[in-house]
């Protein structure tokens, strides 16, 4: 039988290059789909939690998941009804006053852009009016894929329906994922899935608390220093909380520049408000609510956001933390833990040690050599056994 022909290293390198190129092109085409799947799973997790909680009171899972969905939609609509009207009014007022707002800054901007000083404000206003007059511009990257505002809303509705059915019957999906692994690794796969679920729940809890706390504190602070459009800037900055670290920086730029058109003192006060809120976020909200559950180092998050932004585009920034958590957990479970276990570096859980000892005890007993106890001689000579006398 002829031997199989071995490929030379150069051929292997060329084939590997083509394979990586194909994967890269395929990844670019599937970015939107991958983000949609991740968002659907994130929506299904709280619905499944609501269904499981109500199931303890003998409420069917279908009814429990539906109740959780309706409750979430109702809360979202209520918040939007309270915030959006004032936010929209102030946004329109802000756009209308843009030429006057940039009056003191247009000369500096003109030096950079090369435009005439009188044209800068008008150009900025026209740019902003593209988004306030036509919200469809906000989904420009999705529109390039042929999706309109109605298409995006339809896709989101489809994701909600899919998330609902996932929450009603999660077992087949979990079993399907486990079936991709060999039987001896399925228990490990279920542990990874559970760890991912806990991490993503912690992220969602942290984001909700962080957004609410950031919005309220910024609104109160900006109102106290007398900055106009406080609701607009507070809601804008609270929404950017979804982008870790960089969101708070981006959110502080517009209100600080706007305050600078009034006076340097107001600009410093505005910047101070944002710094204080950012410190509260970094030292209270994130450590207490999010970091203990997600367990990602700040440096990993900061670098990971940049990388994910390059791979997934702007929309990927809003789900950067779940993606990073997925990568870190999979690497830890598939590579770090086995490596440290082999070297004996990882501290085992006491319950795992006890279970392992219980499993190994029969084998140890079966192969053990029984050693008879050694009798020590008595200390009192009278108690010593008498030697037989010679006859």
What tens digit of pLDDT does each residue of 36-67 get? 899 999 999 999 999 999 999 999 999 999 99
**DSSP symbols for 258-300:** HHHTT-HHHHHHHHHHHHHHHHHIIIIIIIIIIIHHH---HHH
Task: Provide the pLDDT for residue 280.
Answer: 83
φ, ψ of residue 129 in degrees (nearest 5): -65, -20
Task: Provide the pLDDT for residue 246.
Answer: 81
Task: Provide the pLDDT for residue 109.
Answer: 54
291, with CB counted inside 10 A (0-12, 13-18, 19+), is: middle
User: Residue 139: pLDDT band by 50, 70, 90 thresholds?
Assistant: very low
CA atoms within 13 A on the CB side of 347: 1
What share of the chain has pLDDT > 90, as a percent? 27
Residue 158 is encoded by which pair of tokens? 């489809």
How many Å apart are CA 87 and CA 24, to the nearest integer?
41
Q: What's the predicted TM-score (pTM) here? A: 0.69
Residue 252 is encoded by which pair of tokens? 């502080």
How many Å apart are CA 143 and CA 139, to the nearest integer?
6
Give the position of tokens 């709280």.
Answer: 46
What share of the chain has pLDDT > 70, as a percent? 68
Residue 359 predicted with pLDDT over 70 = no
Which of 161 and 105 is assigned the larger pLDDT? 161
Residue 4 predicted with pLDDT over 80 = no
Which of 33 and 329 is assigned the larger pLDDT? 329
User: Residue 128: pLDDT band by 50, 70, 90 thresholds?
Assistant: low
Find the range with the poorest average confidence among 7-11, 152-156, 247-251, 258-262: 7-11
375, with CB counted inside 10 A (0-12, 13-18, 19+), is: exposed
User: Residue 165: pLDDT band by 50, 70, 90 thresholds?
Assistant: very high
What tens digit of pLDDT does each residue of 316-331 get? 888 888 998 999 899 9
Q: Are 236 and 254 in contact (CB under 8 A)?
A: yes
User: Residue 361: pLDDT band by 50, 70, 90 thresholds?
Assistant: very low
Mean pLDDT of 364-388: 45
Residue 284 is encoded by which pair of tokens? 């209270």
How many Å apart are CA 145 and CA 367, to the nearest integer?
68
Nearest in space to 261 (alpha carbons), one of 88, 109, 92? 109
In 321-376, at which residue ranges do the beta strands (DSSP E only) sit? none
281, with CB counted inside 10 A (0-12, 13-18, 19+), is: buried
Which of 7 and 360 is assigned the larger pLDDT? 7
Buried b / exposed e along 140-149 (16+ C-beta atoms within 10 A): eebeeeebee
CA distances from residue 12 to 26, 310, 324 in whole angstroms, order as listed: 21, 29, 31
Longest CA span, the chain: 135
Task: Provide the pLDDT for residue 53.
Answer: 94
Mean pLDDT of 139-164: 68
How many Å apart are CA 263 and CA 143, to the nearest integer?
40
Q: Are 147 and 139 in contact (CB under 8 A)?
A: yes
What tens digit of pLDDT does each residue of 228-261 get? 888 889 988 998 888 877 888 889 998 998 888 7
Which of 207 and 286 is assigned the larger pLDDT? 207
Task: Provide the pLDDT for residue 356.
Answer: 44
How many Å apart are CA 200 and CA 323, to the nearest integer?
10
Q: What does the mean pLDDT of the chain come to?
A: 76
Q: Which of 8-22, 27-41, 224-238 has the highest mean pLDDT?
A: 224-238
């Amino acid at each position: 039988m002829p031997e199989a022909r071995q490929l030379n290293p150069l051929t292997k390198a060329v084939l590997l290059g083509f394979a990586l190129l194909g994967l890269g092109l395929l990844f670019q085409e599937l970015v939107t789909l991958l983000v949609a799947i991740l968002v659907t799973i994130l929506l299904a997790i709280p619905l499944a939690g609501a269904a499981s909680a109500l199931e303890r009171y003998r409420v069917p899972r279908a009814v429990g998941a539906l109740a959780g969905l309706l409750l979430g939609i109702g809360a979202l609509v209520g918040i939007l009804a309270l915030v959006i009207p004032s936010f929209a009014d102030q946004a329109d007022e802000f756009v209308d006053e843009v030429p006057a707002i940039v009056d003191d800054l247009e000369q500096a901007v003109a030096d950079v852009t090369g435009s005439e000083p009188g044209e800068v404000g008008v150009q900025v206003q026209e740019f902003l009016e593209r988004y306030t007059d036509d919200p469809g511009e906000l989904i420009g990257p999705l529109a390039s894929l042929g999706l309109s505002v109605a298409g995006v809303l339809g896709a989101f509705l489809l994701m909600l329906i899919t998330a609902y059915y996932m929450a009603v019957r999660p077992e087949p999906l979990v079993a399907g994922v486990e079936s991709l692994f060999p039987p001896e690794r399925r228990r490990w796969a279920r542990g990874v899935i559970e760890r991912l679920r806990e991490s993503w729940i912690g992220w969602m809890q942290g984001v909700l608390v962080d957004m609410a706390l950031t919005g309220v504190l910024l609104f109160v602070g900006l109102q106290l220093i007398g900055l106009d459009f406080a609701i607009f800037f507070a809601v804008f900055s609270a929404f950017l909380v979804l982008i870790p670290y960089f969101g708070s920086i981006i959110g502080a730029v517009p209100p600080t520049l706007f305050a600078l058109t009034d006076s340097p003192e107001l600009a410093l006060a505005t910047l101070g408000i944002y710094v204080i809120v950012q410190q509260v976020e970094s030292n209270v909200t994130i450590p207490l609510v999010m970091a203990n559950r997600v367990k990602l180092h700040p440096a990993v998050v900061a670098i990971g956001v940049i990388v994910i932004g390059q791979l997934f585009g702007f929309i990927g920034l809003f789900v950067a933390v779940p993606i990073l958590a997925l990568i870190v957990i999979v690497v830890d479970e598939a590579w770090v833990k086995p490596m440290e276990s082999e070297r004996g570096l990882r501290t085992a859980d006491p319950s795992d040690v006890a279970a392992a000892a219980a499993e190994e005890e029969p084998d140890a007993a079966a192969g053990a050599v029984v050693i008879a106890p050694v009798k020590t001689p008595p200390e009192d000579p009278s108690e010593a056994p008498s030697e037989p006398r010679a006859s």
